[in-house]
Amino acid sequence: MQKTDSKIIVALDMANETEVLTLTEQLNPQQCRLKVGKALFVSCGTQIVKRLIKDGFDVFLDLKFHDIPNTVTNACLAAQALGAWMVNVHCLGGRRMLESVANAYANIQGDKPLLIAVTLLTSMQQQDLTDIGINTPLGEQAMLLAALAKDTGMDGVVCSGHEVTSIKQQLGSNFLCVTPGIRLPDNSHDDQRRIMTPQQAIRAGSDYLVIGRAITTANNPSMVCEKINVDINK
């Protein structure tokens, strides 16, 4: 299923098919992968995922499944049948949910998506945890959830770049870290809090970088992808 070695995942955080295809026509499947999130999926359904895969892109289906084990497992199996390259679930769904999905994927013969668990959203700060009754320090909580993901058979986690080094040290270099909250040095932080530049995240050990507006709003998105690829491979 994998079509490129690029570490860039372009976040298609829009809900208009024409807008999306206008952007992706400017991108090279050899230079990046694509992330389809909730807004785009709800607006355009499976057809947009099929179209992007047909156009040669690896697609990360970013729907952050979090439900009872059977429901999440069936959703992840549907994502596999759709041809997704990567799919994610929420660690906070708990051990039984995570194990159910991992066991179902273990029985698949042939290609299957990378199975990634979300630890804590990069928009969250310590107060956000306190508000929902979690008093563990943010970094420690992210590590606890990452360890749960590893123990239940996930391929890796979505996590802040600030947690990557610790995760790699404690859970092994082969445990994947997918890092959102990536901003170029001259970008605004928008609604993210725990951010890093592409070079910082790669040095920390990130395997994949989720990059949105820095690419999607650029005058020349392909050129930005090319520059980032060069910079992170120096």
Domain of 199: which CATH number?
Answer: 3.20.20.70
210 or 122, higher pLDDT: 210
Q: What residues contact 232, with CB distance under 8 A and at least 6 apart?
A: 7, 198, 199, 202, 209
Question: Which residue in this structure is represented by tokens 């970088």?
Answer: 209
Known catalytic residues?
64
Distance (Å, rounded) from C-alpha 69 to C-alpha 107? 16
Structural domain includes residue 215 = yes
Most confident residue range from 77-86, 163-172, 224-233 = 77-86
Tell me the residue range of the domain where 199 lies.
8-232
- 105 located within any domain: yes
What is the pLDDT, as a whole number, of residue 192?
Answer: 46
Residue 114 domain-assigned (yes or no): yes
Q: Does 212 have pLDDT greater than 80?
A: yes
The answer to the question of residue 61 being in a domain is yes
112 lies in some domain: yes
More confident residue, 184 or 190: 184
**Is position 200 within any domain?**
yes
Q: What is the pLDDT of residue 186?
A: 66
pLDDT at 217: 93
Q: How many helices (H) and strands (E) does the chain have?
A: 11, 8
**Could you tell me if residue 2 is inside a domain?**
no
pLDDT at 127 over 60: yes
Contact present, 177 and 157 (Cβ < 8 Å): yes
Q: Please check whether residue 118 is in contact with residue 90, taking contact to mean a CB–CB distance below 8 angstroms.
A: yes
* Position 172 confidence tier, pLDDT thresholds 50, 70, 90: very high
Q: What's the structural domain count of the chain?
A: 1
This prediction has a pTM of 0.92
Per-residue pLDDT at 225: 96
Half-sphere exposure of 158 (CA within 13 A, CB side): 28
Given this model, what pLDDT does residue 187 score?
Answer: 53
Distance, in Å, from the CA atom of 180 to the CA atom of 183, rounded to the nearest integer, reads 9
Q: Would you give the distance in Å from CA 21 to the centre of its chain?
A: 20
Per-residue confidence (pLDDT) for residue 124, from 0 to 100 = 86
In-domain check, residue 227: yes
User: Is pLDDT above 90 for 144?
Assistant: yes
Check pLDDT > 80 for residue 211: yes
User: Are 99 and 70 spatial neighbours (Cβ–Cβ below 8 Å)?
Assistant: no
